Amino acid sequence: MTNEGTEQTNGEEQKDIWTTIRQQYEQLRNVEEQQQQKSEQQPPAECSLIFCGSSNSGKSSLSSLFLSSFSSRHFSSSSSAVSSLSSSSTDQKTIALEFRFGQRIISEGNGKQLANVWELAGGGTMAPLVQVPLAMRNIHSTSLLLFVDLTRPELFQSVADSLLTVCRKRIERLKSGDEMAKLIGQIESQDKKAIRPLGIQLAIVCARYDEFQNANSEQKRQMYGLIRQFAHINGAAIITLSIRMDTLLTKARTFLSDLISGVPLQQFPKSLSTDPQHPLFVVPHGIDSFEDINPSLRSLGSFSEAMLNFLQSLNQTFAQQQQKAPDDEAENEAEEGEEMKQQLAEPTIDALVEERMKQLELFAREKRDRKEAEKRAADRRN
């Protein structure tokens, strides 16, 4: 009996030891998971926001307002130096691609965050330039704000679709197939077969609402339906902006602050407002559906089919303007472009650019000659 009692006691002690080890392991794993979640939701040390889309839609005003909480600097494609951001910068017309950045303290330990803000002018005419800010080193901390002028529905395809197509091709080259497949797998929507995320956080900004609100009810209903369809297919959230309406401007600024906070867009507080008599908000993506937008869209079984359906509906509802101008208009634009070129001429910068181009050509030629010499030497050795 004594031996049996001893064996039973030893067994219980071993069981207690393994139970304790398992409990300690679970506690350690929970702590590690909590620390990981905390670090993931901390503001990244560096982030990028890309403002692109319709001209005169409030991109400069919103980006300036956003950067007002940062110690910021401004670099323009039409400027020869980096200068402090001033209030007058919001009145200057953006030319080509402009870059601004701001830095702020985000923690008691003097942790800092750098916000890079890129603004692309020209609507869809300069779409290829939107690739410049999209680089491997920052692709995971970049968000795209696509501005759509609610008062110019006839330009939607030439602006929004053109820009998003260029962005998508660039991002798909930077991200692996596994990453993109994972993003698609994370979609929580009954329409997931027809949805293809862009690969970075994307929001459509419905601009110039102060003017659009005076449109007739049918036009507003049609425009909202098309924007919701386009956003749903491309994995985008939707917000509305007017630089003349403080409430919408404040909401947009808060949205931008949340974008760089480290919290994924999919975890943002839900905001759904689709009544044509009110500003359009769909945050985050996924709380809208084809069922609510238009039940006939439920049969769409792929992204390509969904986009084709959208473009057909868009052109049937609002005849789209082509980007390519007629010959006579093209000639006028060429003349105006030459005049603008003369007005914006900066001899010092032009001379510097010419010098740099010569240096680049010389470097390329030397590199090519060196490779040819190395190849000849290798051939002689063989």
Mean pLDDT of 264-270: 92
Neighbours of 85 (CB within 10 A): 19
Query: Which residue, among 307, 309, 311, 308, has the nearest Cα to 320 in the 3D structure?
Result: 311
Please report the pLDDT score of residue 331 as a whole number: 45
3-state percent helix, strand, coil for the chain, nearest multiple of 5: 55, 15, 30
Give dist(CA 349, CA 329) in Å, integer. Answer: 30
The strand pair at 97-105 and 71-75 is best described as: antiparallel
Q: The tokens 């670090």 sit on which residue?
A: 39
Question: pLDDT per residue over 129-172, tens digit each?
Answer: 999 999 998 999 999 999 999 999 999 999 999 999 999 999 99
The whole-model pTM stands at: 0.72
Please report the pLDDT score of residue 227 as a whole number: 98
If phi > 0 it is left, if psi is from -120 to 50 it is alpha, else beta; for residue 282 that is beta
Exposure of 187 by Cβ count < 10 A (0-12 exposed, 13-18 middle, 19+ buried)? middle
> CA torsion 302→308→314→320, rounded to 10°?
150
Give dist(CA 363, CA 213) in Å, integer. Answer: 56
Question: pLDDT per residue over 346-375, tens digit each?
Answer: 666 666 666 666 766 777 777 777 878 888
> CA torsion 162→164→167→168, rounded to 10°?
-110
Please report the pLDDT score of residue 156 as a whole number: 96
Is the pLDDT assigned to residue 210 strictly greater than 80? yes
Structure tokens that stand for 166 in this block: 């260029």
Backbone angles phi, psi at 97, to 5 degrees: -115, 125
